[in-house]
């Protein structure tokens, strides 16, 4: 096919495709640095697993902007069937929800949510995280977790990212490789 003027808008390649991600292949991870004017998107497969791949899950946090957590099942006979069980805690009370159907979860700005953790997956499904801002922001709330859970998490990986002024971000560890790109 001849090169088109608008080829740059077709994002087939991503350096993240090479990244060995715990849940499955990354389709795209992008923000306004990837392409001008884009909000933050993180899109990946979740491949079958019989037990949780993460010990605690993605720990409790907030974002400066609203977020969408989109869980899309791939059962052609029943598109509502996620083919998985995904645990998601909501609010400072950590109200527990288990997602088993194709579901879009709306997270208002500054609303505490997670841990998020796929408990098991019997059929591959697609996860799309949208932060409605030009870049990813995140502030963690380790104080909401039990001491045992806190001790099991790698806080060099789960780290505050680019929250707007007025928030006290955790001090970034030396050589934090996810700086400026977030970690989904």
Q: Give the nearer residue to Zn ion in terms of CB position, either 122 or 128.
A: 128
Q: How far is the CB of 8 from Zn ion (least distance, A)?
A: 28
DSSP string, 98-115: EEEE-EEEEE-TT--EEE
DSSP assigned state of 129: E
Q: Give the nearer residue to Zn ion in terms of CB position, either 78 or 157.
A: 157
Cis peptide before 50 (omega within 30 of 0): no
Tell me which stretch binds Zn ion (CB under 5 A): 45-53, 67-75, 97-105, 170-178: 67-75
Strands 139-140 and 103-107: unpaired
User: Taking CB positions, which residue lies at the least distance from Zn ion?
Assistant: 67
Q: For residues 149 and 153, give the distance between their C-alpha atoms in angstroms, rounded to a whole number.
A: 7
Distance from chain centroid for Cα 42: 6
Q: Give the nearer residue to Zn ion in terms of CB position, either 9 or 106.
A: 106
Tell me which stretch binds Zn ion (CB under 5 A): 2-10, 15-23, 65-73, 119-127: 65-73
Tell me which stretch binds Zn ion (CB under 5 A): 11-19, 66-74, 85-93, 97-105: 66-74
Q: Give the nearer residue to Zn ion in terms of CB position, either 125 or 138.
A: 138
Q: Which residues bind Zn ion (CB under 5 A)?
A: 67
């Amino acid at each position: 096919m001849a090169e088109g003027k608008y080829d740059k808008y077709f994002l087939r390649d991503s350096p993240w495709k090479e990244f060995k991600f715990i849940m499955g292949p990354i389709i795209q991870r992008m923000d306004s640095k990837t392409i001008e004017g884009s909000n933050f998107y993180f899109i990946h497969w979740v491949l079958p697993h019989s037990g949780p791949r993460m010990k605690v899950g993605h720990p409790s946090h907030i974002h400066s902007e609203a977020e969408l957590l989109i869980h899309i099942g791939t059962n052609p006979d029943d598109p509502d069937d996620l083919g998985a069980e995904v645990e998601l805690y909501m609010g400072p009370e950590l109200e527990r929800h288990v997602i088993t159907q194709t579901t879009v979860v709306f997270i208002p700005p500054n609303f505490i949510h997670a841990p998020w953790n796929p408990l098991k997956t019997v059929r591959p499904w697609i996860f799309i995280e949208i932060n409605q801002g030009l870049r990813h922001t995140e502030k963690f709330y380790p104080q909401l977790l039990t001491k045992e859970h806190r001790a099991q998490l790698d806080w060099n990986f789960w780290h505050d990212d680019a929250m707007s002024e007025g928030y006290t971000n955790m001090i970034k560890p030396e050589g934090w490789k996810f700086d400026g790109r977030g970690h989904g």
